[in-house]
Each structure stands twice: as structure tokens, then as C-alpha cells.
């Protein structure tokens, strides 16, 4: 038997009734009659609130707007822990510790300004991370991650620059995994940007890609044994977080958290110091090259 309350609702909405076994009983009079507004029955559909723009982080360092600005992004965070290692290390905390170490080293040298996309355990979608760099008019964007592999023999750091076509299958797989940070229960969280002039964007992107490649080369040079890189140290892939068209951007996979030696080094004060000093030297050399005389 049809539930009396359901019958009442269907009647109030002038919808077909349900017959035995759940079949529809069409009521021509109800279909032809004009719909009447009944204030006692209102159907409301809750829409998700529009995600507000995240607050911009403070810009630290010299009080001089002419100094270049570096935005450091600690990958993952909040309910997105990233990869995990056998010794209990979690990527989101490891990357935050590295980001803080680089921030402190740059502030100590006092040659550039610095901002962090996150300085605590919070979640940001990928577009928000690069969006912070764009809104702050950053001169360089560095996203820090830690890799993982099924085999604990995989080891070494890798630098990635943006490419719509991955340099190899491994790079493609890593980009796919990192990009999934914007997918929650199969739902894409990020929103597409508005229409922009394609020619200007293309020119800006080309310059940003060239500068990102130059910076990646300088990091590799400045490592000088302080950081252990994979044999192919610099690769390219379609990382969403690197797609700001006007900010030179690199993604640093600092090592394999699934490798006990890599994880122990990256989690140690010596490892954080080696990382911070390598990148600080590369950053200073980079701005000498792209901003001579400043």
C-alpha cells in the first residue's frame, strides 16, 4: 500500500500517483490543471557553498618590494597525508619540515622575500597553491613532495618542470598521483579559470617554462653531493600545481619516503639543512641570472 504521506506529497505537487507494485497512475486532470503554489510544501535543494579564496600568507624577509619573492609550497596537508613510509613518516609532515627549513635559510640570508602556501597542517587544492603564487606576483614557485614506490630499492630526488606531455611513463604516473589531490570521492575540486588571451598566455608560459628549466639546472649544479639525485635528475610532466602561466615553477620530489635511507635522511636535521642550503644557493644564483643588476 502506498504510504499516506507520500500520496499527500504527490497530490500537492500535482505529480503522478503510484499504483500497486510502484506503477505510475497518470492523472490527466492533475496534469492539465495549472500548477498552484502551496506554501505548505516546498522542495529545497541544498547547494554546496562557493569555496572562498584562501587568505594570502604573510610575505617575510626584507621590507623591499623590489626584492624577488619566492613562494614555497609544502605538498599535501590536512586530510590529504600524501605518501607514507615504513618508519611511520608521512609526506605532508616531511614536506612541511623541508619548506620551513628553506624558509628559515632564505630569511637568514636576507636576499629574497619568502611566503609559504601553508605553514601548518591544512588542506589546499592544487589551484589554490599556484593561485597564491600568482596573487602575490611571485617570481618563483617551488612545490615540495616526497616520492613513493612499491619497491624499497627506489631512491633519489627528482626535479620536475611543466610539460603537457610527460617525459616518460614514470613521470606521467607520478603526475597523475599528485594531481589526484584535487579529487575527493571522484569529484574534481578545482575550478577552471576564466577566458584569457591565448597568445599572451602562451608567450608568458614559454618564458616561465624556460626560467623553470634554468632554475632546475642550477639546483642540480648546487647540490654538489649534498643531495642524492636519481640518474635522470630533471624531468617534465603535466603537474597541475605547476600550471601558473606567468610564474616559473618547479616540483621537487625530495626522495623516496618508501626507502628507509631516503626517509631517514630527509627527516634528519642534516637532511633538511642540505636541502635548504642547496636550494638557497640555487635561488640566489637564479635571480642573479634573470634579474641582473638588482
Per-residue pLDDT tens for 33-53?
555 555 566 667 665 566 677
Q: Does 19 lie in the same domain as 102?
A: no
Give the total number of structural domains in the chain.
2
Residue 253 falls within a domain, yes or no?
Answer: yes
- Residue 224 binned pLDDT confidence (cut-offs 50, 70, 90): confident
Q: Does 157 lie in the same domain as 224?
A: yes
Residue 110 falls within a domain, yes or no?
Answer: yes
Q: What is the mean pLDDT of the chain?
A: 80
> What is the C-alpha separation between 127 and 143, in angstroms, rounded?
12
Q: Does 2 lie in the same domain as 101?
A: no
- b/e sequence 4-13, b meaning 16+ C-beta within 10 Å: eeeeeebeee
- 232-274 pLDDT, tens digit per residue, is 999 988 888 888 878 999 999 999 999 999 999 999 999 999 9
Neighbour count for residue 167 (Cβ, 10 Å)? 15
- For residue 189, CA distances in Å to 34, 51, 124 come to 41, 10, 10
Q: Does 188 lie in the same domain as 92?
A: yes
Q: Does 40 lie in the same domain as 75?
A: no
Q: Does 74 lie in the same domain as 31?
A: no
Give the residue with greater pLDDT, 251 vs 15. 251
Q: Does 167 lie in the same domain as 27?
A: no
Q: Does 27 lie in the same domain as 138?
A: no
67 CB-near residues (< 8 Å, 6+ apart): 61, 111, 112, 113
Residue 51 falls within a domain, yes or no?
Answer: no
Nearest to 77 by CA among 161, 182, 155, 170: 182
Structural domain of residue 134, as residue ranges? 69-290
We report the CATH number of the domain holding residue 282 as 3.40.630.40
Q: Does 24 lie in the same domain as 127?
A: no
| Highest mean predicted confidence (pLDDT) among 16-20, 84-88, 233-237 | 233-237
pTM for the structure as a whole: 0.73
Give the strand order in the sheet containing 229-237.
113-116, 69-74, 140-147, 249-256, 157-162, 229-237
Residue 147 falls within a domain, yes or no?
Answer: yes
Residue 12 falls within a domain, yes or no?
Answer: yes
Amino acid at each position: 500500500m502506498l504510504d499516506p504521506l507520500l500520496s499527500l506529497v504527490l497530490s500537492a505537487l500535482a505529480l503522478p500517483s503510484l499504483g500497486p507494485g510502484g506503477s505510475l497512475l497518470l492523472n490527466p486532470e492533475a496534469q492539465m490543471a495549472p500548477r498552484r503554489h502551496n506554501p505548505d510544501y516546498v522542495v529545497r535543494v541544498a547547494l554546496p557553498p562557493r569555496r572562498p579564496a584562501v587568505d594570502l600568507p604573510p610575505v617575510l624577509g626584507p621590507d623591499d618590494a623590489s626584492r624577488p619573492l619566492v613562494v614555497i609550497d609544502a605538498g599535501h596537508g590536512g586530510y590529504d597525508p600524501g605518501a607514507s613510509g615504513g618508519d611511520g613518516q608521512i609526506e605532508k609532515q616531511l614536506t612541511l619540515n623541508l619548506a620551513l627549513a628553506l624558509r628559515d635559510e632564505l630569511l637568514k640570508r636576507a636576499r629574497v622575500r619568502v611566503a609559504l602556501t601553508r605553514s601548518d597542517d591544512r588542506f589546499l587544492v592544487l589551484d589554490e597553491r599556484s593561485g597564491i603564487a600568482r596573487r602575490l606576483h611571485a617570481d618563483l614557485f617551488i612545490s615540495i613532495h616526497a616520492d613513493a614506490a612499491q619497491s624499497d630499492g627506489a631512491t633519489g630526488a627528482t626535479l620536475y618542470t611543466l610539460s603537457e606531455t610527460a617525459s616518460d611513463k614514470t613521470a606521467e604516473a607520478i603526475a597523475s598521483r599528485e594531481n589526484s589531490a584535487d579529487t575527493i570521492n571522484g569529484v574534481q575540486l578545482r575550478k577552471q579559470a576564466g577566458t584569457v588571451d591565448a597568445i599572451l598566455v602562451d608567450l608568458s608560459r614559454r618564458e616561465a617554462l624556460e626560467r623553470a628549466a634554468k632554475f632546475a639546472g642550477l639546483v642540480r649544479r648546487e647540490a654538489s653531493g649534498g643531495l642524492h639525485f636519481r640518474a635522470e635528475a630533471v624531468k617534465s610532466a603535466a603537474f597541475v600545481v605547476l600550471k601558473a602561466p606567468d610564474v616559473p615553477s618547479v616540483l621537487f620530489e625530495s626522495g623516496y619516503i618508501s626507502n628507509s635511507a631516503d626517509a631517514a635522511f630527509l627527516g634528519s636535521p642534516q637532511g633538511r639543512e642540505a636541502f635548504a642550503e642547496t636550494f638557497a644557493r640555487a635561488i640566489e644564483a637564479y635571480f642573479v641570472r634573470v634579474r641582473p643588476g638588482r
